[in-house]
């Protein structure tokens, strides 16, 4: 069965493991509350929905406040489903679920960088910088002549960069601090500080 929890990226630091200095990302993992449960018989798949970061009731609109009050649960800022995970409505999920795991996969939304050109977005080499050349960071030609007379799909061009769902697998768990709900994983994870993360094993 799958294991999962929601968390917030706190930031990066480094810690010593024996004589080695290891870069780690600090994640506030949970605690999360199971707010809903899906079953194969009723919904076609098995899953639980986790609620993370409690909200005041006056911060919700009417439909959402009705959903949480109907289930007699506190409202949460983030709610996400985790497939094939175990739990009953009202259960508390903490970072302790990873105490026997060595690796996790982390999903987050990468930092948005807005509209970017081909040099930054795709790593194009650019044009000459000297001899009066005025197209230093432009893409250049994007097509052929009369045949095929069009631009092929998938052409690498300028456009929106970042703000995409990214999953990094096999991140090593360096340390778990249950009393502070902290999970330290080796290397970096997607997204900005205070960004929402889904951690699964």
Direct distance between the N- and C-terminal alpha carbons of the chain, in angstroms, rounded to an integer:
9
- Beta-carbon count within 10 A of 164 CB: 12
Same domain, 103 and 147: no
**Residue 57 scores a pLDDT above 80:** no
Please give the pLDDT value at position 64.
67
Same domain, 141 and 89: no
Please give the pLDDT value at position 4.
86
Same domain, 12 and 109: yes
Average pLDDT over all residues of the chain:
87
Same domain, 21 and 103: yes
- Number of structural domains in the chain: 2
Same domain, 140 and 194: no
DSSP 28-75: EE--EEEEEEE-HHHHSS-EEEEEEEE--GGGS-HHHHHHHHHTT---
pLDDT band (50, 70, 90) for residue 71: low
Q: What is the pLDDT of residues 119-174, one digit of tens each?
A: 999 999 989 989 988 889 999 888 888 988 899 999 999 999 999 999 999 999 99
Please give the pLDDT value at position 91.
82
Same domain, 13 and 72: yes
CATH number for the domain including 59? 3.30.160.810
* CB of 34 closer than 8 Å to CB of 88: yes
**Residue 197 scores a pLDDT above 90:** yes
Range of the domain at 142: 114-161
Same domain, 17 and 87: yes
Q: What angle do CA 200, 163, 80 make, to 5 degrees?
A: 35
**β-strands 159-161, 165-177: how paired?**
unpaired
Same domain, 64 and 155: no
Please give the pLDDT value at position 68.
65
Please give the pLDDT value at position 79.
86
Same domain, 175 and 90: yes
Please give the pLDDT value at position 34.
87
Same domain, 155 and 185: no
pLDDT band (50, 70, 90) for residue 67: low
Q: What is the mean pLDDT of residues 1-23?
A: 88
Please give the pLDDT value at position 100.
84
Same domain, 109 and 131: no
Same domain, 18 and 99: yes
């Amino acid at each position: 069965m799958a294991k999962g929890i929601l968390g917030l990226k706190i930031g990066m630091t480094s810690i010593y493991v024996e004589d080695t200095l290891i870069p780690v990302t600090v994640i506030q993992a949970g605690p999360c509350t199971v707010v809903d449960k899906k079953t194969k018989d009723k919904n076609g798949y098995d899953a639980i929905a986790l609620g993370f970061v409690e909200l005041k009731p006056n911060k919700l609109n009417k439909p959402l406040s009705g959903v949480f009050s109907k289930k007699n649960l506190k409202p949460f800022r983030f709610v996400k489903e985790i497939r094939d995970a175990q739990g009953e409505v009202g259960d508390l999920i903490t970072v302790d679920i990873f105490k026997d795991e060595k690796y996790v996969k982390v999903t987050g939304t990468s930092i948005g960088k807005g509209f970017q050109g081909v040099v930054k977005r795709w790593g194009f080499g650019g044009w000459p910088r000297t001899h009066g050349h005025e197209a230093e960071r432009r893409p250049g030609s994007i097509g052929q002549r009369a045949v095929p007379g069009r631009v092929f799909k998938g052409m690498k061009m300028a456009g929106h960069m970042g703000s995409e769902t990214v999953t990094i697998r096999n991140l090593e768990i360096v340390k778990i601090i249950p009393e502070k709900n902290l999970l330290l994983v080796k290397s970096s994870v997607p997204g900005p500080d205070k960004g929402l993360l889904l951690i699964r094993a």
